[in-house]
Structure 1
Amino acid sequence: MKYFFPILLGRLARIAARARGGGSAYPGYLVLKLLPTFLTDVTKQFDRGVVFVLGSNGKSTTTHMLSDVMRAHGLRVFTNPTGANLPQGIASALLSEVSLFGRLKADVGVIEVDEAFAVELSGLLHPSTVLMLNVQVDQLYRFYETERVADMMTDTAKTSSAHVVTNRDDEYLGPFTDATLDVTRFGASPALVAAAPHGLQNASDFGSGATKGEAGDAQAEVQAITPAGATIRLGAESLDVRLPARGLHYAVDAAAAIQTARVALGTEFDSRRAVAAFASMKPAYGRGERLKIGADEAEFVMFKNAASLQLNLDALTAAPEQVLLAIDEGTPDISWIYDVDFSSLDHVDVVSGAKAWQIALRLEHAGIPIGTVEPEIEKAIDLMKALPAPASKTKNFIVNYEQMMIARKMLGYPDLEKRA
């Protein structure tokens, strides 16, 4: 009975929250109040341990990639698919799969974790593997300095019981080492990074004097971007993988996911199964995801900071024929928008969100024509629907998380836990 009533009440709260049109962290908050040991009790059932995925950008995408690769090896994977990465969000995700008696049928946990809560969660979930993706300028109103975020990640890495996978090309994370842990790295070839319009947007460390050369070699390295995806060197092998979304940053996420699966699975890792997983992989929600909008498709490109917006703009192969750009109060301070190069856009049809007029001012300074400024996203989507059918059959939605959630719901896809 230790688990029955807390889980039952959490489940009922979850059903009520979803009936209102979406997920909620409240069910997880409730079950943790009633049963503080819930996270530890449930996740210690994983025979293959817990993998943490940390990073300023790319956590949800890489968690999704890694989960699919692990499933391709026959493992039952628990993950937090909606990107709810605080303790209550992870608890809510567990409520969707755990029995009323606290049993969970999963072999391994692949969990996206918020950096600020990572050390705390490591004490509850005891990760066997920690993946550190990048340190990029993000949420300065919350973290103040990028170096603090790097410290949060490396402090968490030290709590791993076995493996740490880190980014060779990140000046904060690349030099990480620990004699008690198996530390391996991923990255992209210097030529690819140099050819990217704005590199990989990793933050620079002006204090330690660390250089890429000090980080050691990458066991998984992106060597080429192909029309279908990317070529990744994995040890002595060369893998051609299909990417679920376009861009060098997604290829780097793929290299990170493959290397993490490799160390977590050990001798059971099969590169052919990894390639097969990518061949059928769908995009993580909002990250290159394509949803029906009438006779056409809406392609969602989600961002949360200057780095993610810039990398997604750089990945465009041509200026979009039709585009909506929206940011709301989920991104409180968007002064960073003046650091973004918008030259890959030749116009924006609709600007929306609570920050619409700030975006419009930035686009005006960049000399980019704007069709309409409509702060209400619901009306903005109706305007996009009313535009003539594009020759490309694609209407591009470049949005932050909150606007993506509203747009998906309006297009008939409110459930982030079900794949479109």
Structure 2
Amino acid sequence: MRRFFAILLGRLARFATRLRGGGSAFPGYLVRKVWPRFIEDVSSQWGHGVVFVLGSNGKSTTTHMVSELLRAHGLRVFTNPSGANLPQGIASAMLSEVTLAGKLPADVAVLEVDEAFAVDLARLLSPRTVLMLNCQVDQLYRFYETERVADMMLDASVLASEHIVTNREDPLLSQVQSRLGSKSVPDVSYFGASDSVLAASKHGLLNAPDFRDGAEAARPAALGEVRSFGGREATIAVGGDVVSVELPARGLHYAVDAAAACATARLVLGDGFDTKRVVQAFGSMRPAYGRGEVIPFGDESVEFVMFKNGPSLQLNLDSLSTPPKQVMFALDEGTPDISWIYDVDFDALDHVDVVTGEKSWQVALRLAYAGVPVTTVEPDLEKAIELMRALPAPEHDRKLWFVNYEQMMLARKYLGFADLETRL
């Protein structure tokens, strides 16, 4: 009866919060107050266990990719599509699918997890597989240094019961084997990109360097490796197989995320992994919300390019083959410290039509130093969107909006796409 009451209460709270638009972590907080072992008890039902996805950048995209690959192989997948990656957020996501009897019909869970809570969640959810994407300069106001973030991820990864999948090209995360010592469980697999692909990238993958003492380890073979890449097309070697896939968004970082997803899916599925289903899954895969997502904008369309830090902005800029015809840049207090913007190379842009958000004047100043002309600075997002709407439709192109997470959500809501939880 207590479990029934906890779920009913959480469901009612979830309904109430969604009435005001968007999701909320409060229902998850509430259900765990009444049923403290809610997360542990519900997650123990999944036959293929839990997959964690960790990283400074790319968590939502790669969680989406792994989920779609497993679904293409016939598995029922529970995930946290809105990007709610703290304990209460994951509990709220569970409430969207759990029955009043406490059953959540899924074969496997693929969960994006915040690095700071990864160890605590690993103890709650006992993941079979932990995927670590990258450690990049991010939220220094919160974490202070990248090595600390890497340690959070590494400490969580060694709690996996079966598999660790890590980035061979990341100087910090590729050293996970040293954490395991002589232990053979969990096993460690790698993903990455070929030497030729890395050499062709203007700024590489922008993973944080490892300044700590220690001998450089030999570069291991990768279970998933990007062999070639261009625009939205990539060729990926997965074990002994090679597949050509269409990416949900353009950029080398998406190709590397795809290699990570393929390697992880192969480990989860074992002998059931089928490259034909991989190609089919990528062919029909939509972008994770805000990450290359294209949304109707009157008679036109707008492409959202979300960034959260210097490396993600730089890699998205690097993905542009030609300067976009119409550009809006939106950044607000959701990104408190934007000093990193002076490390970003803006050569991919020849102008910006509108800069908006609470940080708009700081962004405009940086663009001025970079020699990128700005037509209008309008701190109010809704007014900025209307300025973009008033521009004539660009020929053979779409409007491109660079947005941080909070501005992405507000812009989507203004355009009538507020519900993030149904996007995946």
**TM-score calculated relative to the size of structure 1:** 0.98
Please identify, of 170-179 and 374-383, the stretch whose mean Cα deviation from structure 2 is larger: 170-179
**For the Cα contact (< 8 Å) 1:50–1:127, is it kept in 2?**
yes
**For the Cα contact (< 8 Å) 1:168–1:174, is it kept in 2?**
yes
CA distance in 2, matches of 1:258, 1:388: 41
State the match for 1:223 in structure 2.
227
State the match for 2:65 in structure 1.
65
Deviations 1:232-279 (A, max 9, x none): 011222110110000000000000000000011111111211111101
Aligned match of 1:382 in 370, 386, 390?
386
- State yes or no: 1:333 paired with 2:337: yes
**For the Cα contact (< 8 Å) 2:60–2:81, is it kept in 1?**
yes
**Percent identity over the alignment?**
65
Map 1:226-375 onto structure 2 (within 5 A).
Answer: 226-375=230-379
Aligned-partner SS, 2:313 = helix
Deviations 1:338-386 (A, max 9, x none): 0000110000000001100000110011111101101111111111111
**For the Cα contact (< 8 Å) 1:53–1:131, is it kept in 2?**
yes
State the match for 2:8 in structure 1.
8
Deviations 1:305-347 (A, max 9, x none): 0000000000011111001001101000000000000110000
Aligned-partner SS, 1:174 = helix
Aligned-partner SS, 1:175 = helix
CA distance in 1, matches of 2:117, 2:231: 38
Please identify, of 263-272 and 301-310, the stretch whose mean Cα deviation from structure 2 is larger: 263-272
Aligned-partner SS, 1:214 = coil
CA distance in 1, matches of 2:77, 2:422: 15
State the match for 1:100 in structure 2.
100
Quick one: which amino acid aligns to residue 211 of structure 2? F
- Residue 216 (structure 1) shift: 1.2
CA distance in 1, matches of 2:215, 2:237: 25
Aligned match of 2:412 in 398, 408, 413?
408
**TM-score calculated relative to the size of structure 2:** 0.97
CA distance in 1, matches of 2:407, 2:122: 31
State the match for 2:135 in structure 1.
135
CA distance in 2, matches of 1:406, 1:343: 28
Aligned-partner SS, 1:176 = helix
Aligned match of 2:396 in 377, 392, 402?
392
Please identify, of 60-69 and 3-12, the stretch whose mean Cα deviation from structure 2 is larger: 3-12
Report how many aligned residue pairs link the two structures.
Answer: 419
5+ residue gaps, structure 2, are none
- State yes or no: 1:198 paired with 2:203: yes
Going from structure 1 to structure 2, the CA distance change for 1:210 and 1:135 (only over 3 Å counts) comes to farther
CA distance in 1, matches of 2:34, 2:378: 44
State the match for 2:151 in structure 1.
151
- State yes or no: 1:86 paired with 2:86: yes
Map 1:36-55 onto structure 2 (within 5 A).
Answer: 36-55=36-55
CA distance in 2, matches of 1:346, 1:299: 18
Going from structure 1 to structure 2, the CA distance change for 1:175 and 1:314 (only over 3 Å counts) comes to same
Quick one: which amino acid aligns to residue 127 of structure 2? P
Aligned-partner SS, 1:196 = coil
**For the Cα contact (< 8 Å) 1:171–1:210, is it kept in 2?**
no
Aligned-partner SS, 1:32 = helix
Q: Structure 1 residue runs of 4+, over 2 Å off?
A: 208-211
Aligned-partner SS, 1:375 = coil
**For the Cα contact (< 8 Å) 1:172–1:210, is it kept in 2?**
no
Going from structure 1 to structure 2, the CA distance change for 1:370 and 1:96 (only over 3 Å counts) comes to same
- State yes or no: 1:183 paired with 2:194: no
CA distance in 2, matches of 1:2, 1:76: 27
- Residue 187 (structure 1) shift: 0.2
- Residue 392 (structure 1) shift: 2.7
**For the Cα contact (< 8 Å) 1:321–1:392, is it kept in 2?**
no
Quick one: which amino acid aligns to residue 111 of structure 1? L
- Residue 193 (structure 1) shift: 1.3
- C-alpha RMSD of matched pairs (Å): 1.1
CA distance in 2, matches of 1:48, 1:191: 36
**For the Cα contact (< 8 Å) 1:297–1:393, is it kept in 2?**
no
- Residue 215 (structure 1) shift: 4.0
5+ residue gaps, structure 1, are none
**For the Cα contact (< 8 Å) 1:131–1:165, is it kept in 2?**
yes
Deviations 1:118-149 (A, max 9, x none): 00001110000000000000000111110011
Going from structure 1 to structure 2, the CA distance change for 1:210 and 1:197 (only over 3 Å counts) comes to farther
**For the Cα contact (< 8 Å) 1:176–1:215, is it kept in 2?**
no
CA distance in 2, matches of 1:83, 1:228: 23
**For the Cα contact (< 8 Å) 2:63–2:112, is it kept in 1?**
yes
Going from structure 1 to structure 2, the CA distance change for 1:232 and 1:389 (only over 3 Å counts) comes to same
Quick one: which amino acid aligns to residue 240 of structure 2? A
